[in-house]
């Protein structure tokens, strides 16, 4: 199924972003442990949230149900992406390197944008519900 393949590929791309966050968490841990914790929290939830889509859609043959599952997982990616965008540049999470918070911000922005597109595609192609 074409849409299923799209979901698998786009979910894989989204999963790259939280992995970057986890790396950043490791980097900043010794500078500001709270920044490390918040990167870790956003990264882990986003990663697990997206990874779970694979077993859930593996045997799914119904296009509408597939779209609904895609919507569920992309909401998680979107809301956490927005959360990261809103929090990562806050003064409380500042670290020695000014670039790191901006990289984390950019990573969250990208995941949010891609998940918005996935939501749009799921609704458009499978007539999935935005509220499932």
- The residue from 19, 23, 86, 113 that contacts another protein (CB under 8 A) is 86
- Per DSSP, the three-state class of 8 is helix
Dihedral angle computed from the Cα positions of residues 97, 99, 104 and 110, in that order, rounded to the nearest 10 degrees: 180
Q: How far apart are CA 32 and CA 49, in angstroms?
A: 26
Stretch that binds another protein, among 55-63, 77-85, 102-110, 120-128 (CB under 8 A): 77-85
Residue 78, interface with another protein (CB under 8 A)?
Answer: yes
- The residue from 8, 19, 34, 97 that contacts another protein (CB under 8 A) is 34
Residue 87, interface with another protein (CB under 8 A)?
Answer: yes
Residues in the chain: 132
Euclidean distance between the first and final Cα of the chain, in Å?
22
For residue 82, what are its two tokens? 């927005």
Query: What is the smallest separation between the CB atom of 92 and another protein, expressed in angstroms?
Result: 4
Which residues are at the interface with another protein (CB under 8 A)? 34, 37-38, 41-42, 45, 72, 75-76, 78-80, 82-83, 86-87, 89-94, 130-132
């Amino acid at each position: 199924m074409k849409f299923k393949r799209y979901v698998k590929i786009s979910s894989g791309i989204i999963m790259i972003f939280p992995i970057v966050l986890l790396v950043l968490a490791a980097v900043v841990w010794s500078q500001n442990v709270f920044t490390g914790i918040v990167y870790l929290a956003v990264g882990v939830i986003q990663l697990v949230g997206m990874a779970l889509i694979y077993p859930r859609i593996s045997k799914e043959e119904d296009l509408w149900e597939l779209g609904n599952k895609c919507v569920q997982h992309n909401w998680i990616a979107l809301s956490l992406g927005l959360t990261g965008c809103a929090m990562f540049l806050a003064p409380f999470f500042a670290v020695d390197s000014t670039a790191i918070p901006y990289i984390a911000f950019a990573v969250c922005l990208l995941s949010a944008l891609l998940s918005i597109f996935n939501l749009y595609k799921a609704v458009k192609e499978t007539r999935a519900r935005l509220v499932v």
